[in-house]
Amino acid sequence: MNEQERKRWIFERLKHSLQAMALPAAAQLLYFPDFVVKTDELALGFDHWRDCAIGNYRADVTPAQLESLAVLDAYLDNPSGDPAVWNESALSEHSFWDEVRRLAVQALNAFGWPQETPPIYAHEYIRGRVNEC
């Protein structure tokens, strides 16, 4: 993969992570395999692809785009000390995730990306084995 393809791929995955965060709760629950912690995967996917994009291509991101990503990142880092926001049920029951969705839409808008259902990357998740001691 050449540098231009790598850049396009990283920004595509950032877009998809934001689109997944912007989905309604019911769609977010269906987006990931049942054996993963869906709230964690939403946050971790965004964090990873944001780091890749900003770490490698910061010069290609506008100040408004940087700010939208920074605001969402800061919000995810400070869920008011409530561990319940990381429960799967929180996607549909906790106002924290309503705000995450709103901030994800703002970031999509800053980049000029559509709010739509992204491709599913379920093949990237591998079910682990339970350790039996």
Identify which of 95, 57, 72 has the alpha carbon closest to the alpha carbon of residue 18.
Answer: 72
Average pLDDT over residues 28-32: 91
User: What does the pLDDT read at residue 128?
Assistant: 72
pTM of the predicted structure, to 2 decimals? 0.90
CA 45 to chain CA centroid, Å, is: 5
Write the CA distances from 30 to 27, 61, 78, 102, 103, integer angstroms: 5, 31, 25, 19, 21
Domain boundaries, the chain: 3-116
Alpha-carbon span 61 to 92, nearest angstrom: 32
What are the DSSP calls for 28-73, one per residue? HHHHS-TTS-HHHHHHHHHHHHHHHHHHHHGGGS-HHHHHHHHHHH
Give 64-74 pLDDT, tens digit per residue.
Answer: 999 999 999 99
CA 120 to chain CA centroid, Å, is: 13
CA angle, 22 then 80 then 86, to 5°: 55
Identify which of 77, 16, 66 has the alpha carbon closest to the alpha carbon of residue 43.
Answer: 77
User: What does the pLDDT read at residue 119?
Assistant: 87
Residue 133, pLDDT above cutoff 60: no
